[in-house]
Structure 1
C-alpha cells in the first residue's frame, strides 16, 4: 500500500506545478555629450536621452529605450511638458502608436498599429480627454467591434493552448516550455530549464517515478468567458480538462487501489476525477481527469500567447503579474 500511495500521490502533488520582473529605475548618474543627457537603467544600458533647457526642464526631442536598449518611443518636450508628436515602437522597430501632445495633454487623433503595419485603433482627444468611441480594426485592417476582437482573441488563446498540449503529448518539452509565461517564471523564481525538467518529469515517466507511466490522452478546452486588457497585454482564463491514463506496475489488492483512489480525490479537492480502473496481476490502469484553470496572456508587442496554470498556494505569485479580475476568476484553484 505504501509504495502505491507514494507513486500516485507524488504524481498528484507535482503534476503541472509550474513554478514581472521589476523594471529598474533609471540611474540618474547620467552622462552628457554635446548638451545631450544620457540616462541609464541600473543594468547600465541606455534608458533615455535628450536635452534640458536652462531651467533644467526637458526640451526638444527625447528618446526612450527598453532594458534591452530597443527604441521604445520618441517624443518632444517644451518647458518640461510633452508637446508635439510622439511615437511608440515595437521591439522590432515598427511603429506601435502615434499622436500629439499639447502642453502635456493628448490632442487630436492617436493611432495604434498592428505589427503587420495595419491600423488597429483610432482615438480622438481634446485637452487630454478622449471624445467619442475608439475606432477598432482587425488584423486585416477592416473596421470591427470590441466584441469581435475579443472573440478573435479567445479563439487564438484556445488554439495556442491546444498547441501547447500537443507538444506535451508528443513529449517535445523544448517547445512546450516556450509556451510558459516569462512573468510566471519570474514570479515563481523558476528558471526555464527547471520548468522544462518539471514538465518532463510529469509527462515522460522520468526516473523519479519508475513504477508509474502517465499518458496524456486528450484535452478538452473551454474558451475564456471574457478578455481583460492591462497595458499592452490581454488576459483570459481557459478551463481545460485533461484526460490521463496512469499505469502502475505492481501487484496491489482492490482495497489498496480503492484507498489510494480516495486519497487522490481528496488531494485534488474536486479537481481530480477517477474514471475506469482495470487490473491484471502486475499492473493497474487508472483513468483520471484533471480540471485546470489556465491564465492565457497575449503580449501585443510580440504577438504571442503564453500560459500559467492555476496551482494551490501560488495566489501570491499570481498577484504579481495578473490583473485582479483574472486572479479572482482563478481563485478556486489557488
Structure 2
C-alpha cells in the first residue's frame, strides 16, 4: 500500500505533482492538481480572505472547459468556456446586483452569432450579430 502524496510535492524530475496551492498576484491562491508539472482538472481560485473567486478546468496546463468567476460579494460575475486556452461556447455576465448584462457565443476566441445586451429590468437592450471569422 502506497502513501498518498502530500501537498506541494515534486516528482523525480522536479515537476510539481499532486495537490498544490499556488499564490496569485492578487493576494489569493489557486488550488488544484498538477500532473507531470502541468495544471490538470478542476482548479479553484480564492480571494485573500478565502472566499471563492473562480473555478474551472485545466488540460495539460491550459485553461479548458467551463469557468465561473465570482464577485467578492459572492454573486456570479461571469461564466464561460474555453477550448484549450481560447474562449469557446456561451459566455454570460451579470452585474453586482445579479442582473444579466450580456450573453453570446465565442468560437476560437472570437465573438460569433447573436450577442444580446440586457437592461437592468431584464428586457433586451440590443442584439448584435457577429459573423463567423475564418
Q: What interval of TM-score do these two structures reach, taking the shorter chain for normalisation?
A: 0.7 to 0.9
- Residue aligning to 2:31: 49
Shift of 1:133: 5.5
CA-to-aligned-CA distance 1:259-315 (integer Å, 9 cap, x gap): xxxxxxxxxxxxxxxxxxxxxxxxxxxxxxxxxxxxxxxxxxxxxxxxxxxxxxxxx
CA-to-aligned-CA distance 1:233-279 (integer Å, 9 cap, x gap): xxxxxxxxxxxxxxxxxxxxxxxxxxxxxxxxxxxxxxxxxxxxxxx
1:32 maps onto 2:12 in alignment: no
Shift of 1:59: 0.3
1:99 maps onto 2:80 in alignment: yes
8 Å contact from structure 2 (residues 18, 35) kept in 1:
no
Shift of 1:92: 1.5
- Residue aligning to 2:119: 138
Shift of 1:49: 0.9
Q: Gaps spanning 5+ residues in structure 1: where? A: 1-30, 147-334
Change (3 A) 1:52 1:99: same
Which of 84, 88, 105 is matched with 2:65 structurally?
84
Quick one: distance in 1 between partners of 2:25 and 2:123?
43
SS of aligned partner of 2:88: strand
- Residue aligning to 1:118: 99
Identify, as 1 or 2, the structure richer in strand: 2
Quick one: distance in 1 between partners of 2:109 and 2:21?
29
CA-to-aligned-CA distance 1:31-61 (integer Å, 9 cap, x gap): 6289310123589x6421111112x111001
Quick one: distance in 2 between partners of 1:46 and 1:38?
10
8 Å contact from structure 1 (residues 38, 46) kept in 2:
no
Identify, as 1 or 2, the structure richer in helix: 1
Shift of 1:84: 0.8
1:63 maps onto 2:39 in alignment: no
8 Å contact from structure 1 (residues 120, 136) kept in 2:
yes
Quick one: distance in 2 between partners of 1:122 and 1:35?
36
TM-score by length of 1: 0.31
Quick one: distance in 2 between partners of 1:40 and 1:131?
35
Flag the structure with more relative contact order, 1 or 2, with Cα contacts below 8 A and sequence separation at least 6. Answer: 1
How many residue pairs match? The answer is 114
Change (3 A) 1:77 1:57: same
